[in-house]
A and B are shown apart, each in its own frame.
Chain A
Amino acid sequence: MSAVFDAFSMVASFEVLVAILISAVYGMVIGALPGLTATMAIALLVPVTFYLSPIAAVATIITSSAMAIFSGDIPGCLMRIPGTPASAAYTDESYALTRKGQAELALGASLWFSALGGIAGTVALMILAPALAEMALSFSTFEYFWLSFLGLMCATLVARSSPIKAIAAALLGLLVACVGIENPGGVPRFTFGLTDLLGGIEPLPALVGVFAVSEIMRAMINAPPPPIPERKLGSILGGQWALTRRYPKQMWRGNIIGVLIGALPGAGADMAAWVAYATSKRFSKEPEKFGTGHPEGLVESGAANNSALAGGWVPALLFGIPGDTITAIAIGVLYMKGLNPGPTLFTEKASSMYALYIVFLLANVLMIPLGILMIRVSKQVLRAPRSVAMPLILLLCAVGAFAIGNNPFAIVLVAVFGVIGFMMERNGYPVAALVLGIVMGTMVEQNFVTSLIKSDGDLLPFFERPVSSVLATMTIAALLWPAIVWLLRRLRPAEAAR
């Protein structure tokens, strides 16, 4: 118990509280700026953490990542330019709400359910960490293969228009993920002799290009959209209580999906948001409304991506295994500050552990007032003339892409993907599926190949292992479902004619 009191006093120090506040604003702002992403924000924090005390250092990372994952929804909703791959899952949906003049509903839902999701995730972290860790450790490459394949299938489940085009887009994404030397064989693929392509194509420049740059390209040839009806901004949270009462199952399902997927190393907020959105549509009573501006999907996926963040810290804190790039950076910082991940964190340094939990809770609570402020500011910024905002966004895309690895080649990638995204959108191919393919591609291939190596070429273990068999059934069902629906649709008119 004394450890808990120590933890409170550690967090209540001036340095830590100021660090939390500043990094909250920092994360909020960077996530909300189109062209800049949460991962970039965290990577740029590392030099700063050097000069901070251990708890303050980790607090900055926890706080800014939680804020950025939420605020990445803001440009996605208002401008159709998601700030993170996670937001890409439901950008179209929230943008549709904006076009209907209900932007505050969409953003409010994102904010409210993200904050709740983060808190739920933290509670799960505090209580269930050992159990979640057990689950995480029992996942071998066979299980990961099915999971990542399932994640990939979500692209088709979510497709608004032709599912075949969605599959084609996802396949394109997988092809892009093939580029480089980061394959199980260690053989350079499709690099055309370019050193910069050796490391493969990062999802972030592709995301920025495919959404932000293609949006700017569209702005060049389309007339400005009609101004969104200026409604008196009522309470942003006003409608949220009603939503919570209407969709409690979705919220809890989103939280659970988020924590489970987040706890699995290698699967993070990105996948959680996609899977949650897909399950939301799949199990909804009004699936045809999805994509036209319907908040149900936002409830579930908003909850999932923030609870996945908290879940991602389970393997990170317990075993030093990163759940995604952000936790990988965070683990580095933990080591640098002498808070080595592992059992010592729970025994000798228990008060530090509790301090981290408190920071988590604080960050998610702080999200609400800061989020409201950010949403109001963003709506004001939207009033700026498009001809001034778009050039700035273009510049931010260039600098943001460069800043990740200080490599100008990233900017070239952004430009190329801008063209690709533009062409795809014009012809009805969902770009979100492309991004999903790029994000999931390496995971699918890596796990497939390594599993085969371990089983000496035998395919049986893919279906024999208990968790694998469950995931396999789910995936195959998801795969066959659209085909079955299509068949039923074809058969029914024939029956009606009889």
Chain B
Amino acid sequence: MTKMTRRGALAAGALAGIVPLARPAIAQARYPTRPVQFLVPWGAGGGTDATARIVASLLEQELGQPFNVVNRTGGSGVVGHSAIASAAPDGYTIGIITVEICMMHWQGLTELTRSSFTPLALMNEDPPGVQVSSSSPHKDIKSLAEAIKASPPGKFKASGTGQGGIWHLGLAGWLGAMGLKADHVRWVPSNGAAPAMQDLAAGGIDMVTCSVPEARAIIEAGRAKSLAIMAPERNPQFPDVPTLKESIGVDYSVGAWRGIGGPLKMPQEIASTLTAALQKVWDSKEFKDFMNARGFGMVWADADGYAKHMEESDAKLGAAMKAAGLTKA
């Protein structure tokens, strides 16, 4: 230390000043440099959790650092989504964002909206299907739609999720597109798709508008059948199920989507890196195999596309919720 000349010290000081400035650029070029937390607002073992886990493990392969899935449950999704939105925007906390973010603020449950996040990529979307019991007199969607139109309001009963849930809104929107009131078919709330399908098989309700993958096991057991899906195109995993548009000419579609996002004001380079990596994940064989095995719909959009998609979803769902009387006045 005593040998150090003044010049040397100055030079060292200058270097010491420059290096921190240079570090961000170097660090971002190597992002990620440490494990990333991947938050899931829903419980372990569910569809969203499973999707998140496969994405996280593939991202780890892509980017070389562990992406640790952490379930942050509570508040019907609000807790987890809040956790993602309020994390430090350094790229080391991201999460899976689900369609409920476009519904919760309409109900007055939270101040969070889609604009509270940096969208990174849209990965999946599942439209609601229209399922009936295998012993139903309606063999196709046309027959069912006509019966609904001819029936007095409240006679038909449908289920699939809780009051105001995405499948409820799907039904409400479909009824609206057919010129009927949103509650023309009475909604029977259930604790998820599985109990609703069970009630359908038990003869307690007339139809279930959950997604087809959720109904798959009971359909394959021959207790129910799917008459149509509310999507622009058929799902290749269920090629025999027509869309509403092709069978009765009602051009209505909606979906429960899942995408990846992070807190607002994430650095652009990091966001782009993630989006690019996510695209590779989406194109990968493992992801395709997983999604096809579950029957989940694969839909891709990059950051801008995702933002636009969320905007449309928000507007569409808001309208459906207003029509169904579910918004906070």
Contact = CB atoms under 8 A, between A and B. Distances in A.
Please determine if A and B sit in direct contact within the complex, based on CB atoms under 8 angstroms apart. yes
A408 B76 CA distance: 16
B189 A184 contact: yes
Contacts of B220: 342-344
Interface in B188-207: 188-191, 194-195, 197-199, 201-205
B186 to A, nearest CB: 6
Given A47-B69, A406-B71, A407-B73, A321 B189 contact: no
Contacts of A336: 50, 53-54, 290
Interface stretch (A137-145, A214-222, A354-362, A390-398): A137-145
Contacts of B163: 184-186
Given A46-B45, A199-B76, A320 B202 contact: no
Most chain A Cβ neighbours within 10 Å, of B69, B74, B218, B223: B74
Given A321-B194, A405-B73, A453-B157, A182 B162 contact: yes
A406 B45 contact: no
Interface string A321-360: 1100000111111011010111110000000000000000
B72 interface: yes
A342 B190 contact: no
Contacts, number: 163
A359 B70 CA distance: 29
Nearest to B165: A186
B45 A332 contact: yes
A318 interface: yes
Interface string B212-228: 00001110111100000
Contacts of B54: 336
Interface residues of B, number: 58
Contacts of A35: none
B74 A407 contact: yes
A137 B223 contact: yes
A312 B226 CA distance: 26
A196 interface: yes
A33 B90 CA distance: 38
B70 to A, nearest CB: 6
B46 A332 contact: yes
A289 interface: no
A266 interface: yes
A50 B293 contact: no
Nearest to A184: B189
B217 A320 contact: yes
Given A43-B45, A329-B44, A344-B220, A454 B74 contact: no
Contacts of B53: 46-47, 50, 336
Contacts of A340: 216-217, 293
A199 B185 CA distance: 27
Nearest to A347: B220
Contact of B202 (A138, A196, A318): A138
Given A319-B217, A335-B50, A50 B73 contact: no
B174 to A, nearest CB: 19
A454 B198 contact: no
Contacts of B199: 140-141
B154 to A, nearest CB: 7
A142 B220 CA distance: 26
Contacts of A405: 43, 71-74, 79
Contacts of A47: 53, 69
A196 B195 contact: no
A184 to B, nearest CB: 5
B109 interface: yes
Contacts of A329: 43-45
Most chain A Cβ neighbours within 10 Å, of B44, B186, B221, B326: B44
Contacts of B222: 343
B131 interface: no
Contact of A335 (B159, B189, B201, B293): B293
Which 4 A-B residue pairs are closest in the complex by CB-CB distance? A332-B45, A186-B163, A329-B45, A320-B217
Given A50-B53, A140-B199, A335-B293, 10 more contacts: A137-B202, A186-B107, A196-B75, A265-B194, A321-B194, A321-B197, A405-B43, A405-B79, A406-B71, A454-B204
13 contacts: A46-B45, A186-B162, A186-B163, A195-B74, A199-B73, A265-B194, A319-B217, A321-B218, A336-B50, A336-B53, A342-B221, A405-B73, A453-B187
